[in-house]
Amino acid sequence: MGDAATLCPACQSPMAEGEETTPCPGCGAVHHGECWREIGGCGVYGCSHVPPTEKRNDLEIPAGHWGKETKACPRCGVQIQAMAVRCRHCGAEMSAGAGQSDQAWKAERAEIGQRATLRSRCIWVFALCAIPPLAPICVLPATFWLWRRWSAIARISGLHRTLAVVGVGLAWLMCLGLVTALFVASHTGD
């Protein structure tokens, strides 16, 4: 029972007599039934019945490894020391080199993509609100957008957040100026 032919290729434990086993249809290696179900296929390297692995676009290895000396702050995006636990620019706290779960890794990648989209929208809001003829048209939708997205906007860089706020503020000032000018013009023409 203790020889190498009776070891399960998945868990490397010997097969007990009477234990449920599952032979691989590709290579014939005998697995514990539970091991076969848990890994979803064969545990022998190179076998055609090995379960597929999940492909990653980026490595999960912390930035301090493999020669990288800096990393992007998760809150403000500024490059900081790879092993820093606190950003010196925005004060965000993070772990120095802790691994991530699969869900955390995917959530982080999605948030990075959303931040890039949000930054470009902040620039568009500023540009549209700063153009005098468009300000009366854009002021209400831009204000509503800023109010609805404020929690996400508060987490991006200060420049883009400031552009969005200043753009909406300029649009309100231009609208107020336009209303004042129309009011004065209507009362002086009598």
- Tens-digit pLDDT profile for residues 7-59: 888 888 888 888 888 899 988 888 888 888 888 888 888 888 888 776 655 54
Kindly state the percentage of the chain with pLDDT values over 90: 27
| Residue 106 and residue 151 in one domain | yes
153 CB-near residues (< 8 Å, 6+ apart): 118, 122, 146, 160, 161, 164
| Residue 76 and residue 108 in one domain | no
| Residue 65 and residue 123 in one domain | no
Instruction: Tell me which amino acid residue 114 is.
Output: Q
| Residue 146 and residue 168 in one domain | yes
| Residue 146 and residue 106 in one domain | yes
Instruction: Provide the CATH number for the domain around residue 41.
Output: 3.30.40
Q: Pick from 66, 99, 132: which residue ends a domain?
A: 99
Domain ranges, residue 82: 58-99
Q: Spell out the SS3 assignment of 142-180.
A: HHHHHHHCHHHHCCCCHHHHHHHHHHHHHHHHHHHHHHH
| Residue 113 and residue 148 in one domain | yes
Rounded distance between C-alpha atoms, residue 21 and residue 174, angstroms: 77
* pLDDT for the residue 162: 92
30 CB-near residues (< 8 Å, 6+ apart): 6, 8, 15, 21, 22, 23, 24
| Residue 120 and residue 153 in one domain | yes
Instruction: For the full predicted model, state whether its pTM sits above 0.95.
Output: no
